[in-house]
Structure 1
Amino acid sequence: MSATQQNVGLFPVSYRIGTGLPGAQSLLLNLLVSTPQHEVSGGATVTQATNPPLDIHSDVWGEYTYLTVMKPGVSKILITAEGNHGGHGSNSIINFKIRLVVGTDWKEGVANYQYLNGTHWVEVNNVPVHLAEVQSKVFPPFEPGPVIIHHNPPILPLYAAPIQSAIASGDLAQMKNLAKLAKQQLDQQPQLQSALEAAKKEISRLQAR
């Protein structure tokens, strides 16, 4: 795969974060990963079966970096993010922070996170991270669109950015972010349109036989 292909990508990933023990806190983290900018955005939900039940939602944004070590060490990916109600650029106070370390396959890891519960911060440290099925309510099925390439993605590549979802939710910050990513994606793949036209011509030629 070429260097250009490695730097172009947009894919969703979803994590279940917690011990899984009865009554323990659970964090569901849904992220859209942009490989050109090494940025992430999405949503986080902290829940716990208490009385009253704990249920805290946050719009999340942040970045990721590769923690590369010399052999025979194992390289990791560090994701750092924070969240609030309304997303990046809103006037809402920060109510969520997370540092998440996963393998280079994006599948397993460990996390430390904090959330604002009323007037005080609660810290949860060294909890297991497991890749989960991408939540369809956050990233619904898409119509065909620009082909997005990612080097060793944890799931199948997408064929369109989830702009429809952002429009439906009315999330202005998310719409702006996705519009920027989509434009960058198209700018980085000028050959896509010509390839599509060539494919259409070949389809027509074969169908005419």
Structure 2
Amino acid sequence: MSGSVSQQNVGLFPVSYRISTGLPGAPSLVLNLLVSTPQEQVNGNATITQAINPPLDLHSDVWGEYTYLTVMSPGVSKILITAQGNHGGPGSNSIVNFKIRLVVGTDWREGVANYEYYNGTQWIEVTNAPAHLVESVPSNAFQPFHPGPVIQPHRPIMPLYAAPIQSAIAAGDLAKMKSLAALAKQQLEQLPQLRIALDTAKNELSRLQSR
């Protein structure tokens, strides 16, 4: 990966994926990324190889971002990584020769990728390629750096209000009503624990203020 990691990125962790359909003669992608949780950004490199004549051996410096996706089933989330690459990174004048959309679980372990690359004459597209996390990231995958503490990924909290439920009822949207009803039930079940935690916080605040 070209350049150095900004020291402002205090929550960093590396991931390395092997992405391939597994079909004979299909291209194989190795994607090494350094995930910055404060900025929700990724940087790294990609290597695509293929046993053809002449053999394919494409390298790209990669940068992009990730975001959390919440699907209809309550409590089920995915992470969407979108990135692109070239020779030299975003600050270079090199043309983009690699693009990827990778959807993984919130544990970052496996998922499915759609990517495309420029082989020098045309763009080649690969769809629905399984992605698997490599347990040990190669030592030469990234430039040396000294990261701060790792910030574990988490699913954002979405407070539920009455307006979305009323809107779904008015629109007659059955699927949305079911989803919101399940989410509302889940949040209502958590209210006793929330009240206990709030009372504990109030008592602690009163104790500290009385000193």
1:105 is matched with which residue? 107
Asked which structure has the greater CA Rg, the reply is 2
The runs of 5 or more residues in structure 1 that have no matched partner are 1-6, 154-209
- Kindly indicate whether residue 47 of structure 2 is the aligned counterpart of residue 45 of structure 1: yes
Change (3 A) 1:140 1:59: closer
Structure 2 partner of 1:64: 66
Deviation, structure 1 residue 20: 2.4
Correspondence for 1:138 among 138, 141, 158: 141
Q: 1:61 to 1:119 in 2, by over 3 A?
A: same
CA distance 1:90–1:128, shift in 2 (3 Å): same
Residue 73 (structure 1) shift? 5.6
- 2:35 maps to a residue whose letter is V
Structure 1 residues 12 and 25 mapped into 2: Cα distance closer, same or farther (>3 Å)? Answer: same
Residue number among 95, 98, 101 corresponding to 1:96 in the alignment:
98
AA of the residue aligned to 2:29: L
Following the alignment from structure 1 to structure 2, what is the Cα–Cα distance between the partners of residues 10 and 97?
A: 22
**What is the alpha-carbon distance in structure 1 between the residues aligned to residue 132 and residue 36 of structure 2?**
20
Q: CA 1:150/1:73 → structure 2, altered by over 3 Å: closer, same or farther? A: closer
Write the letter of the residue equivalent to 1:43. N
Structure 1 distance, partners of 2:43, 2:101, is 14
User: Which sits farther off after the overlay, 90-99 or 62-71?
Assistant: 62-71
Cα deviation for residue 147 of structure 1 reads 3.7
Q: What amino acid does structure 1 have at the position aligned with 2:80? A: L
Q: CA RMSD in A?
A: 2.1
What is the match of residue 34 of structure 1?
A: 36
Corresponding residue for residue 203 of structure 1: none
Q: Residue 135 of structure 1 aligns to a residue in which SS?
A: coil
Aligned-partner residue type, residue 82 of structure 2: T
Residue 122 of structure 1 corresponds to which residue in structure 2?
Answer: 124
User: % of aligned pairs identical?
Assistant: 75
**Deviation digits for residues 124-168 of structure 1, max 9, x if unmatched?**
0011010013111114776xx564122159xxxxxxxxxxxxxxx
How many residue pairs get aligned? The number is: 145
Q: Deviations over 1:86-113 (max 9, x none)?
A: 0011100000000000000000100000
Secondary structure of the corresponding residue to residue 38 of structure 2 = coil
Per-residue CA shift, 1:18-71, capped at 9, x if unaligned?
A: 022332210000000000000000000110111111110000000000002354
Q: Which residue pairs with 1:195 in the alignment?
A: none
Q: Which of 8, 16, 35 lines up with 1:14 in the alignment?
A: 16
- Answer yes or no: is 1:82 the counterpart of 2:79: no
Using the size of structure 2 for normalisation, the TM-score is: 0.64
C-alpha separation between the residues in 1 aligned to 2:23 and 2:128?
14
Residues 177-188 of structure 1 mapped to structure 2, 5 A cutoff: none
Indicate the SS of the match to 2:74: coil
For the residue of structure 2 that corresponds to 1:66, the secondary structure is strand
Aligned partner letter, 1:107: R
